[in-house]
Amino acid sequence: MNATLKLPVEPWARRLVLLEIALPVVLLVLGIYAGLLQVLFRAGVIQAAEFWGWEYYQALTLHGVVNAIVFTTFFAVAFGNALVPYALGMKLPLRWAWVSGIMMIVGTLMAAWAILTGKASVLYTFYPPLMAHPLFYLGAALLIIGSWIAFFNWIPLYLRWRREHPGEKTPLAVVGMFATFIVWLIATVAVAIEVVVLLLPWSLGWTQEVNVPLARMLFWFFGHPLVYFWLLPAYTMYYTMLPRLGGGKLYSDKVARLVFMMFILFSIPVGAHHQFAEPAISSGSKLLHSFLTFAVALPSLLTAFTLAASLEYGARQRGARGLFDWIVKQPFFSTDGWMFSYLIAGLIIFILGGISGIINASYSMNLLVHNTSWLPGHFHLTVAGPVLLAFLGMSLHLLATHAGKEIRLKRLAVAVPYLWLIGVFTFSWGLMRGGLHGEPRRTNLGMSYLNPDSPFYHPEWKLYVTVTMIGGIIMTLAMIAYFTVFFATALRSRTKEPAAEFPLSEAYHDEPAGALANLRPWVITAIVLIVIAYTPMVRDVLRGTFSNAPGYEPHNPAPVNQIEQLDTSP
Ligand code: HAS
């Protein structure tokens, strides 16, 4: 395989990428610790008060915000700041890149202060009537606006490249990152309106109440495309790097471009599938969003087959015979192409993660699983599967290349994703089985389920929460191994010349892009679809006859003896 192209990176561009990778990894230590507390608490091993000063909802908010919002947003910006200039063979414009990074860091510190001081125990969905300190909302707004600036900073580079390369196909890595940020840009307009127009004035006391269904509709306008903002940087790695790491080439370049265009089309007009139980939204809107949700599953199904074909093709070039020999011949434990293990383990996890998403999308089946522990099972097989592992693998790669340091403990680095895979499958089995038996999600009642005197006594959940806890402990061990590799590499002295380098693959079928070359028609069609899918919903939530809500803050569970006094009579 020919050597990976190395390109020099200006010192201040390297420092920005390293800062945008290192800060979220440090915060991830907190986020993972908060996750361990969740499983120990729900299994009755610790009591809420033992959260070392953290209340249950405070720890859950920290876990969700750090892992699902901060780590992912910083990573997507850092990855784009490194990959887009590399793929275009240009230099990153530094001024606005640093303005973006500083805004994101300031916003993160504001939100972290509010959470750590117990003034924003509102979970990562910050659903009203839960109310947070104004700095939490302001911090979220800064993080998002900072990420917009990062994207806008790449556009002049791309336009100059187009002028200098007339008629050439846009590099696939740039298509992937631009699709990611186009979805993000459209989706975050809604959450910016929710935060700036509805929640911030309410939290500052300028308004006394908030239209809850409207706020939640705006959140889910953003909330589902948020998952593709997480997924598409991983898909960019799958399409542009995995085939080469697997010793082959991308089976079809055109299918990859079609997949990214389909995500631009269908990522956003699906938000009602998070609100099938929402009384304010009409069943007609829910049905339309359900159909469109099955549409947004299609690009992932195309991905499954294209990547499997790419990996099979590569293995057969290396002599694989028979029906399944190509699977066995994958470089699962190669320390040279060590990033392969992060990408393939994530894809294997995503097989079940995606199937559970399709179950969620079914209007009737959703009513069985909604708001049960099935849901965290689903999203630990998606965001904590392909997304987390791809982001961890690439973070390590960016650290090594941009700091000029060979990765230490490479065997341990390769073991991390497989240990995580075992943990997350165990963890999610417990949650999803418990969910099917009615175990709720996001409840701060701890193991009152096991207390015969408790009105929430459900001994049959003990097996499921115990298996979930075992899975969570294995996941924590995997992350301790990852942090060991990451910080041992970060703290070693330089071993090579820093440079940007990505194992970009060639394609077997490298057809002209045709109608996929121009983003504009796809973005316009997406906006038309969004207007069709959301106009009825906006009408629904604005004309609903429900009272607006005053603010509310969740706190620690009442001691068990007080729970018994809860009036649970029908
Ligand atoms: Fe989801 C709720 C439906 C994908 C994350 N989802 C959530 C929540 C999160 C989340 C965080 O319809 C909870 C939000 C909350 O807090 O309430 N989801 C879907 C559907 C998909 C989907 C249809 N979700 C994701 C992804 C996520 C994510 C991706 C994060 C990154 N989800 C829902 C619904 C709900 C929901 C409802 C609301 C439920 C409720 O009631 O609240 C689809 O995009 C899934 C398509 C994916 C596939 C899998 C393709 C398989 C691939 C791997 C192939 C393997 C290979 C390896 C090639 C069809 C690509 C081969 C192996 C070798 C060894 C060779």
- Per cent of the chain over pLDDT 90 is 80
- Cα 304 to middle of ligand 1, angstroms: 13
177 lines ligand 1 (CB under 6 A): no
Mind listing the pLDDT tens digit for each residue in 378-397?
999 999 999 999 999 999 99
What's the mean per-residue pLDDT of the chain?
A: 91
Closest to 75 (Cα-Cα) out of 22, 115, 125, 123: 22
Q: Which of 136, 221, 228, 534 is catalytic?
A: 228
Write the DSSP symbol of residue 442.
S
Rounded average pLDDT over 240-256 = 95
Rounded average pLDDT over 140-154 = 97
Structure tokens at 37: 């507390």
Going by CA atoms, what residue is nearest to atom 19 of ligand 1? 357
CA pair distance 5, 218, nearest whole angstrom: 43
DSSP-based three-state secondary structure for 7: strand
Closest to 400 (Cα-Cα) out of 482, 503, 499: 499
The predicted structure's pLDDT at residue 553? 64
**Active-site residue flag, 380:** yes
Q: Which of 133, 257, 433, 441 is catalytic?
A: 441
The predicted structure's pLDDT at residue 565? 44
pLDDT surpasses 90 at 454: no
> What's the pTM value of the predicted model, to 2 decimals?
0.94
Asked if residue 60 lies in contact with residue 30, where contact means CB atoms within 8 angstroms, the answer is: no
Handedness of CA 378, 286, 548, 563 (dihedral sign): negative
- Quick one: three-class SS letters along 171-196? CHHHHHHHHHHHHHHHHHHHHHHHHH
Range in 32-36, 191-195, 438-442, 452-456 with the lowest mean pLDDT? 452-456
**Probe target for ligand 1 pocket from 184, 219, 224, 362, with the most ligand atoms within 8 Å of CB:** 224
327 lines ligand 1 (CB under 6 A): yes
**Active-site residue flag, 378:** yes
The predicted structure's pLDDT at residue 53? 73
pLDDT surpasses 80 at 313: yes
The predicted structure's pLDDT at residue 48? 64
Closest to 392 (Cα-Cα) out of 419, 413, 406, 408: 413
CA pair distance 85, 229, nearest whole angstrom: 20
297 lines ligand 1 (CB under 6 A): yes
293 lines ligand 1 (CB under 6 A): yes
- Cα 273 to middle of ligand 1, angstroms: 12
279 band by pLDDT with thresholds 50, 70 and 90: confident
Q: What share of the chain is helix, strand, coil (3-state, %, to 5)?
A: 70, 5, 25
CB neighbours of 384 closer than 8 A, spacing ≥ 6? 67, 424, 475
98 band by pLDDT with thresholds 50, 70 and 90: very high
Range in 371-385, 399-413, 450-464 with the lowest mean pLDDT? 450-464
Rounded average pLDDT over 404-418 = 97
Q: Which amino acid is at 462?
A: K
Q: Which residue has the tokens 């796809």?
A: 522
Mind listing the pLDDT tens digit for each residue in 526-535?
999 999 999 9
- Cβ density class 500-520: b for 16+ within 10 Å, e for less: bbbbbbebbeeeebeebeebe
The predicted structure's pLDDT at residue 502? 97
The predicted structure's pLDDT at residue 1? 46
The predicted structure's pLDDT at residue 428? 98
CA pair distance 404, 399, nearest whole angstrom: 8
Range in 66-80, 418-432, 553-567 with the lowest mean pLDDT? 553-567
State the helix-helix crossing angle for 134-164 and 71-88, rounded to 10 degrees. Answer: 10
